[in-house]
Every structure is written in structure tokens, then in C-alpha cells.
Amino acid sequence: MLIKKAPDIAASAITPKPWYLHRREFLQSTGLVAAAAVAGVLDTDDAAATPVGEPLTITKKLVTTTDALTPRQAITTYCNFYEYGADKSDPARNAAAFKPRPWSVSVEGHCAKPGVYTLEDVLKPHALEERVYRLRCVEGWSMVIPWVGFPLGDLLARFQPNGNATFVEFTTVERPREMAGQRQRFPTLLPWPYKEGLRMDEAMHPLTIIAVGLYGETLLNQNGAPLRLVVPWKYGFKSIKSIVRIRFVDKQPLNTWQEQVPNWYGFYANVNPAVDQVEWSQATERRIGEFLRRKTLMFNGYGDQVASMYAGMNLRRNY
């Protein structure tokens, strides 16, 4: 491949927008960034300076894979959180100004108990569990993360959704003064605030959790403090972070990436290695910290637990 450069031409003007948005991921997919990381030649000053969270009390543990955990340093310094910037290192570098407390979540839509709930309201009734899950991103990299949280279904049930609630929509906080990426506009990043959605049966599935920590500590800002979604059988862009609004709706909501690049990101985001994403094969992935690629598993390896929810659906179209 011949890559031409010109100092007076912006990258966004000579490459398709999705390629420009994911330029770092392209380098990762070529093996150049991964090879440098494995060789230990990348600058790790930011990683060494990563703060720690507050310790959490964990009541039980669920391990869903025998794969080794991804090192905490990698999880907290190699992040997708565009509110802090487009590069994987931007969240850890730019998140220090964000204030995750005090916090509140607005609950709206088709439910019996709408309202504004403080973080303490949200957390108080729920015992925290450690869930060791795989996380796979569309860009072709994956991690094994010891999340700390509780079932999303337990939280949603408290608000008593009614029969019209067939989907649930989530919204990320919008604070451009504290989130550098939100101060950048087209063509660099995304329309704000960020939104994501699930079908109600997906949201109520016992594997779906609200995460409040990882590695036994509260989430750092760059990982989505104080509340984020984790759905282990879906691609990582479903993992909405810093949630401030939950809305029960009767129609499929339009999520941010689906709105921005619809031919790259579908609503369901189910991991399907048979469906390529425009320019990238999804058949294999690279685990962070490893050099060689491994085979990608259907539903990220959680098919026995979740495949029945999609019986009869076209999983090439609804990937």
C-alpha cells in the first residue's frame, strides 16, 4: 500500500470518514502498534501514572472464560471513549478533569417510577459482583476484564417498566468543559450526547450488567465512571459510559454510531465473525497483550446463553 502525505491536505479530506475516525485502529490491525507494545517500545509514562480507584466490596464472582485477565494497566490506558478524544490514549490523558460525583440518573418513558435518582439511590439496594467477561471491539481487538457491577435487569425492574417498554435507551453525560472530545466537532468526532439502546429482553438478560468498577476498584473516569453498560456478547460500542439517562421506549432507538456510520454499525451489535465490517474481517481478533490473532467466537463465545433471543433473525443483517 502506498500512502501519500501532503502538509496542506487534512487527513479527513483524503480518506473516507470512518477510516479517518479509526486511523489508530487501522495501525493496530496491521500489527504495528501491537508489535511495538509487545516489544515494550511504546511510551508507558501515561500508563505508569494511571490512578487507582476506590476499593469495592464484592459479594460473589462469576468467571465466564479461562483466558488470562488483561492487565489493569492496559484496560485503563487503552480505551475507546470519544468524549475524551479519538486516540486510544486520549481518555487516560484527558479524563482527570471529569467529576463523577455527585451523580444522578434520569429515568423516563414507559414505567411506573420515573424520576431523578442519585448515584446512591441507584447503588444502595444492589450487591456488587465481579464478572469476568470478554470484551471485543469491532476494530479487531479484545480484552478479558474483571468487571464489578450488578445485573441491569435488577435495576430496570425497580422502575417498573410497562408493556409498552419494548426497548431501553441510554444517554451519556454531556459536559464539554470536562470532556475534551465533546469540544471537537465534525469531522473529528461524534454528535453529542452519545446514545445507545437495547431490546428489553437483552437488557433484562442476566449477563447484562451495569458496571461500577473493574479489578475490585471503582471505575476510573476513562473507563466510564461512575456507571457504564456491559453486554458481553456484543461489540464494544454497545458499552455506553457515564450514563445519565435511562428511557423506556416503544420503538427501536437510534444509537449514535448507527446514526453516524450506518453501514459500519448496526443496532444489535451482536458479535458475528461471518459479517465483515466494510474493510475489516471480523473472523479473527487480537487480544491486547498478544501478538498473534485468534479466532473470533460467535456471540463472543456466549452463544449458549443468548442465541435463543435471536432465533429466526437474519444474523448477517442484524449483526
Residue 252 lies in a domain: yes
Residue 23: pLDDT above 50?
A: no
Residue 317 lies in a domain: no
The whole-number pLDDT of residue 26 equals 37
> Which cell numbers in the block locate residue 312?
429466526
Separation in Å, CA 155 to CA 203, 205, 265, 307:
10, 12, 27, 23
Q: Cβ atoms within 10 A of the Cβ of 278, count? A: 12
Average pLDDT estimate for 289-293: 93
Residue 160 lies in a domain: yes
> Which cell numbers in the block locate residue 41?
517500545
Average pLDDT estimate for 267-294: 92
The whole-number pLDDT of residue 263 equals 83
d(CA 297, CA 312): 20
Strands 195-199 and 167-172, sheet pairing = antiparallel
Inter-residue contact 210 to 155 (CB < 8 Å): yes
Residue 303: pLDDT above 50?
A: yes
Residue 137 lies in a domain: yes
Residue 8: pLDDT above 80?
A: no
Q: Which amino acid is at 194?
A: Y
Inter-residue contact 253 to 268 (CB < 8 Å): no
Inter-residue contact 80 to 143 (CB < 8 Å): no
The whole-number pLDDT of residue 7 equals 36
Burial 71-88 (b: 16+ CB within 10 A, else e): ebebbbbbbbbbbbbbbb
Q: Which CATH number do you get for residue 121?
A: 3.90.420.10
Identify the H or E element spanning 35: helix 32-39
Inter-residue contact 237 to 80 (CB < 8 Å): yes
d(CA 319, CA 276): 10
3-state class (DSSP) for residue 69: coil
Inter-residue contact 34 to 284 (CB < 8 Å): no
Residue 274 lies in a domain: yes
pTM: 0.86
Residue 316 lies in a domain: no
Residue 311: pLDDT above 60?
A: yes
The whole-number pLDDT of residue 262 equals 87
What does the pLDDT look like over 191-233, one tens digit per residue? 899 999 999 999 999 999 999 999 999 999 999 999 999 999 9
What does the pLDDT look like over 57-87, one tens digit per residue? 999 999 999 999 999 999 999 999 999 998 9
Report percent pLDDT > 90 for the chain. Answer: 76
Q: What is the CB-side half-sphere exposure of residue 243 using CA atoms within 13 A? A: 28
Separation in Å, CA 217 to CA 57, 132, 152:
9, 14, 19
Residue 257 lies in a domain: yes
Residue 78 lies in a domain: yes
What does the pLDDT look like over 101-160, one tens digit per residue? 999 999 999 999 999 999 999 999 999 999 999 999 999 999 999 999 999 999 999 999
Average pLDDT estimate for 91-97: 96
Inter-residue contact 272 to 189 (CB < 8 Å): no
The whole-number pLDDT of residue 113 equals 98
Residues 6 or more apart in contact with residue 38 via CB below 8 angstroms? 289, 290, 291
Residue 12: pLDDT above 50?
A: no
Total of domains in the chain:
1
- When pLDDT is cut at 50, 70 and 90, the band that residue 298 belongs to is very high
Domain range for 214 is 11-310
Q: Which amino acid is at 200?
A: M
- When pLDDT is cut at 50, 70 and 90, the band that residue 188 belongs to is low
The beta-carbon contacts of 36-40 under 8 Å, at least 24 apart in sequence, are 37/288, 37/289, 38/289, 38/290, 38/291
Inter-residue contact 240 to 105 (CB < 8 Å): no
